[in-house]
Amino acid sequence: MIRLARAADAAAVAEIYRPVVAGTAISFEIDPPDAAEMERRILSSSSFAPWLVLDEDGVAGYAYASRHRERAAYRWSVDASVYVRAADRRRGVGRALYSALFELLRVQGPWATSCARGTTSGGGSWSCASGRASRRRRGRRQKRRAIRPGAPFSEESSPSAIRRLAIRPTAP
């Protein structure tokens, strides 16, 4: 069952995230955050955008959106992330979480969404909801050009232009 994350989920979220921080460079963090820090993150950003967990015999994975940048020109831009418990990978958990997250973001407003890309510690590659195939399943198209959300007064940064965007992946 996918639901909104609660403070009580922080320990499970920290445990899922710990090997990503400790074993890869994709998180851009040096030290794995503890449960108290993950609780702070869940509570502080939940007022802006959703944090979701897939609860199946405990937290199998989580997804969230956060502000891309603080400046006003980025107000329609979010970064989306999903992390899945090692035992639950390749079972559709990430896809289900991303689908639910993107649906909630669609209802909230005209977001331009950036998703991370990288490699796992096992050498396998991963990307936003497992890449192009996942986006096609959801009826979304990948834009090949980057928008300029920080370019005020341009057509590309208008809410109507951003509304047309489905996902804007970051450079590898």
- 8-state DSSP, 112: E
- Strands of 2-143, DSSP E: 2-4, 51-55, 59-67, 77-84, 112-115, 118-119, 125-126
Q: What are phi and psi of 167, to 5 degrees?
A: -145, 140
Tell me: the pLDDT tens digits for 68-107? Answer: 888 888 877 888 899 999 999 999 999 999 999 989 988 8
Q: What are phi and psi of 51, to 5 degrees?
A: -110, 125
Please give the tally of structural domains in the chain: 1
Residue 172 covered by a domain: no
Distance of alpha carbon 171 from alpha carbon 155, whole angstroms: 22
Q: What is the CATH number of the domain that holds 71?
A: 3.40.630.30
Distance of alpha carbon 21 from alpha carbon 98, whole angstroms: 21
Contact 111, 105 (CB under 8 A): yes
Residue 170 covered by a domain: no
Is pTM, for the whole model, over 0.85? no
Mean pLDDT of all residues in 42-59: 90
Domain coverage including residue 77: 2-164
Residue 124 covered by a domain: yes
